[in-house]
Amino acid sequence: MRYLIAIVLCLLPCVGVAQDWEEQKIFNEGAVGTRLRIISSTDTALFAPLIEGFVAKYPSISVEYMVTGTADLDRLVRAAPETFDIVVSSAMDLQLKLANDGFALTINDIAHPHWAQWHESLFAFTSEPATIVINRTAFDGELIPQTRQDLIETLRTRPEDFRGRVGTYDVRQSGLGYLFATQDARASETYWRLMEVMGGLDVRLYCCSGDMLTDLADGTIAVAYNVLGSYAAVRAEGAAALEIILPSDFQTTMMRSAMVMKGTLEPEAAEAFIRHLIAEKPGSPNDGSALPLLNSEDTTHERETITLDPALLTFLDTLKRKKFLSEWENAVIQH
Amino acid sequence: MSLDPNISGSLRNRLVLTLIGGAAILALLLFFAVRNYAAQVAQQGQDSILEASVSSILDAAALRDGELQVDIPYAAFSMLTTPADDRVFYAIFQDGELLSGYEDMPILPGAADGRWSFQSGEVRGENIRQVSASRTLAGLKKQTEIEVALGQTQDALSETLDQISRNAALLGLVFFALAAALSFWATSATIGQLNRLTTSVTRRGPQDLSPFRKPVPREMAPLVRSLNSLMGRLDQSLSQSEDFIAEAAHRVRTPLATVRSYADATLHRVEKEENREALRSMVRAIDESSRAAGQLLDHAMITFRADHLVREDIDLVALIRELVQRLTPIAEMKDLMLSLVGDPSVPYSGDPILIQNAVRNMIDNALKYAPADSVVVIEVVANPCVQIKVSDQGPGFPPDEIDTLTRRFERGQNAAGTIGSGLGLTIAQDVATAHGGSLVLTNQPGGGACVILSL
């Protein structure tokens, strides 16, 4: 009986962490001090340098890093806010809604430009454009499209080459994909025409940039639309076939942002982490990060990026979202 | 009699306090008025943005195939951006049922009737400004009501208000400081007029009782008028009493002199010894009355002159010498000698009639008490201060009365049997006081009284 209880007690914590994480890693595990629990949508490989820089500065703090998709992340945080100390996500709208809904802790006196923070609680630290990534093998001898319009022309001209070989986010699953899609739709009608064309070519829908790039690299698809530039750049280094196109008609650039949860038990450590995040500048000596860090002194970022303001709540409205998704489904899913 | 008035409060303090107090109240009023007004304006600003936002949401509502669609415009929330990143809460209801948005945003009463309603309240622990409005949509088969509630926190507003409050406070302070400085200046200017009047009244000569003619502010005219009228009455009463003194002296002295000459003449004609004795007593009584009347009038005259002292430059020695010469016959009748000693010339600025009168009384006194065949010494010196000393070789002053003898009608105990009114030393004392000096009574070491008049 005693053994049984012991086994049950041993298993209990395991039940508690039964969540299936895409990735999960503990940095500086040997540290005796506090442990920060970070839930993030950023792949560990890209984010690790920032955490390593942090634990090097604060050796007594260990960091548990958990990765999941943006939409899933939003759901988990809302379900159990006390489980996490810091939330890092690329879905600006979901992050802003979390902050607006009161999940974020206010941190005063952080020297960060106003356009890169919201309500002293949500802090942006990267600037990442949505890109078109192509596999060059599919464009052998052809002109590589530079705008969405070019892409539409290309797809229309050679539908047989691209049928089943174009990919983009499934905006119903991905928070970031939804953000990119809504911002694209705001920016230009071209988005809808592109979606219709892609829908006509039996577009493949992905949950995340990583999967899209994997399929792109092995030739399963030839064109991926709205892929995160940062992820693509990492993959492109190893695969010569991949080419990243920053559409020249208009760019959708998002800022990865972080916030401290209101119910955190480690406010000082969490605050220190946020300060560490935004203190990192691109090109600084310890910038080992693969993420394109925000240069808060460079005001061009301010103009290019999606604005951090309450307007981000618009497309999260139930009715609006329903309407947008139904339009999107009409365009993309053509059976 | 003390010349100092009974002081109660200060006009300057009262003025300054009233003005500064008024300025403080005005400054406070200004502060609150500006702040309230600013708060109203700021609140109106926020309200109108919220109103515009709700309007755009309501406008975006449409019935499609009987289903309510609300295509919230991006600008609806974009326009709610504030410098302080205020939080935004909203809710969309269809016929009172939550369609989307925040379930804890209440719909305000009154919104259902198609009216706009604004209210400050609290949502999720934040103070918010909330606006609600509704719109009726008519479909093919049914009518439906859409209600939108929109709330925004007031961080930016309170920041603005704090700033305005600070500025308003600064404005109030500056206003107060200026008003305070102004009130000090105004008070000084006002009191200055009074001071100028005081100075010109003070600077007047003792006999200048003419009306005050310099221009004064209208408010001070009644005071100056009363002052002028008082001085006029004073002038009149003074000349009346001067006239009265002269008149009285004349009326009392002349009949007495007549009576005395008749008595003298009768004395020569009467031979019966007892009648002669009676007549001699009569002459003595007449002398005494005449002298008393003279001294009384002298005293009255001296009191008047001392009150209106007119100084002229005189040589005391010459003045006293003339007096001594006049009194020498009287002294000789009593077998006494008058001796004037001291400095050859003592210039002094004073009233000669008063001084002569005082010294005559002092010499009279000495003559009365000096033993026969003795010398009364009158000494006039200029150093260390101007002094006139009269000393005799009589019995001296009774030591226990020496301090009270200068009082009016006070006579020494050893004076019984001598003619006198008790006014002589009082007159000398008054004259000394009028000239800013004093009268000292002493007894000489070798016997005899000594009276020192210091001027």
From residue A181, give the alpha-carbon distance in Å to each of A164, A169, B213.
20, 9, 97
Higher pLDDT, A99 or B204: A99
pLDDT band of residue B112 (cuts 50, 70, 90) is low
Task: State yes or no: pLDDT of B247 exceeds 50.
Answer: yes
A88 lies in some domain: yes
Higher pLDDT, A25 or B300: A25
Cα B290 to its chain centre, rounded Å, is: 49
Least confident of B304-313, B409-418, B439-448: B409-418
Question: Top-level CATH class of B310-455?
Answer: alpha beta
Residues A172 and A299 both lie in one domain:
no
Q: Verify whether the Cβ–Cβ distance B124 to A318 is below 8 Å.
A: no
Q: What pLDDT sits at residue B410?
A: 64
Pair (A171, A216) in one structural domain:
yes
Report the alpha-carbon distance of residue A164 to residue A179 in Å, rounded.
24
Minimum CA–CA partner of A314 in chain B: B74
A194 and A324 belong to one structural domain: yes
Statement: residue A253 has pLDDT above 50: yes
* Residue of chain A whose Cα is closest to the Cα of B64: A323
A211 and A236 assigned to the same domain: yes
Does one domain contain both A179 and A261? no
Asked whether the predicted pLDDT for residue A12 surpasses 50, the reply is no
Chain A residues 102-131 within an 8 A CB cutoff of chain B: 102, 114, 117-120
Q: How many domains does chain A have?
A: 2
Which residues of A are less than 8 Å from B75 in CB distance? 311
Looking at the domain assignment, is residue A230 inside a domain? yes
A310 pLDDT exceeds 50? yes
| pLDDT for the residue numbered B411 | 63
Residue A6 located in a structural domain: no
Share of chain B above pLDDT 70, in %: 93
Tokens of B241: 């009493």
* Residue A110, in any domain of the structure: yes
A319: nearest CA in chain B? B70
Residue B338 φ/ψ region, left for φ over 0, alpha for ψ in the -120 to 50 degree band, beta for the rest: beta
| Tokens encoding B174 | 């500056």
Confidence of residue B273 (pLDDT cuts 50, 70, 90): confident
A320 in contact with B, Cβ within 8 Å:
yes
What value does the CA radius of gyration of chain B take, rounded to a whole number of Å?
51
Query: HSE of B58 in the Cβ direction (CA atoms, 13 Å)?
Result: 24
ipTM: 0.88
* Paired strand residues for A27: A63
Per-residue pLDDT reduced to its tens digit, B61-95: 998 888 888 999 999 999 999 999 999 999 999 98
CB B407, CB B426: distance < 8 Å: yes
Among A residues 182-211, those touching chain B with beta carbons less than 8 Å apart: 186
Asked whether residue A1 is assigned to any structural domain, the reply reads no
> E strands, B360-404, where?
375-381, 387-391
Is A156 in the same domain as A232?
yes
Residue A297 has a CB neighbour count (10 Å cut-off) of: 8
Mean pLDDT of A310-335: 92
pLDDT digits 0-9 by tens, B32-52: 999 999 889 999 999 999 999
Residues A247, A266 share a domain? no
CATH number at residue A117: 3.40.190.10
pLDDT score at B207: 62
What is the rounded CA–CA span in Å between residue B230 and residue B71? Answer: 95
Asked whether A154 and A147 are in contact (CB, 8 A), the reply is no
CATH code linked to domain B14-162 = 3.30.450
pLDDT tens per residue, range A74-107: 999 999 999 999 999 999 999 999 999 999 999 9
DSSP track, B33-87: HHHHHHHHHHHHHHHHHHHHHHHHHHHTEEEETTEEEE---HHHHHTT--TT---
Judge if A25 and A144 occupy the same domain.
no
Residues A60 and A192 in one domain: no
Query: Do residue A143 and residue A236 come from a single domain?
Result: yes
Residue B415: pLDDT band (50, 70, 90) is low
Regarding whether A171 and A218 lie in a shared domain, the answer is yes
pLDDT band at A10; cut points 50, 70, 90: very low
According to DSSP, the residues that pair with B150 across neighbouring strands are B90, B131
Q: Is A75 exposed, middle or buried (0-12, 13-18, 19+ CB in 10 A)?
A: middle
Taking contacts as CB-CB distances below 8 angstroms, the residues of chain B near A312 are 77
A289 shares a domain with A146: no
* pLDDT, tens digit, 9 for 90 and up, residues A19-34: 789 999 999 998 888 9
Domain that holds residue A198: 128-253+318-332
Mean pLDDT of B384-407: 80
The answer to whether residues B454 and B385 touch, using CB atoms and an 8 Å cutoff, is yes
